[in-house]
Amino acid sequence: MEVRDAIEADAEALADLATGPPDVMRNLVHDRTVRVAEDDEEIVGFVSYDAERGTVHVTQLAGEQSVCERLLAEPIEFAKREHMAVELLVPDDEPGVQTAVEASGFAETGSGPQFEGQPTTRYRLEPGRAEQ
């Protein structure tokens, strides 16, 4: 599996993974850091994130559990270098993503907002705290 920066041409594949419109994914590629995982030249997952006020916010994560674990390494490494925390919301109907998040060392910090009627759980990781 190879991980690389997303490009605009990836929007259709990202939309399929996230079950969202390609236009939204094109904007995501332009507005956030987006990394994609490829296996045999097929996109099998992606992570998008941005940084604001001392925290890296993972805004989208999609793929099988092992792919999500590999993709989460991207914002975690960025956060380590910048001495930042990482936060994300996981929809409660995505147990594979939830397992990947927990396996990556994130701690549950409570309930998050609902998206399209679906409850979410808030997670946080402070990868650089012990090093500071």
CB-based contacts of 58: which residues, under 8 Å, 6+ apart? 47, 48, 49, 72, 75, 86, 87, 88
Report pLDDT for 129.
59
Q: Which domain holds residue 60?
A: 2-131
Strands 85-91 and 33-39: unpaired
pLDDT score recorded for residue 19: 83
What pLDDT was estimated at residue 86? 98
Q: Full-prediction pTM beyond 0.75?
A: yes
CATH number at residue 121: 3.40.630.30
Q: Where are the beta strands (DSSP E) in the chain?
A: 2-5, 33-39, 42-52, 55-63, 85-91, 107-115, 118-125
pLDDT means per 10 residues in the chain (132 residues)?
97 93 95 97 97 95 96 97 96 95 97 93 84 42
Number of domains in the chain: 1
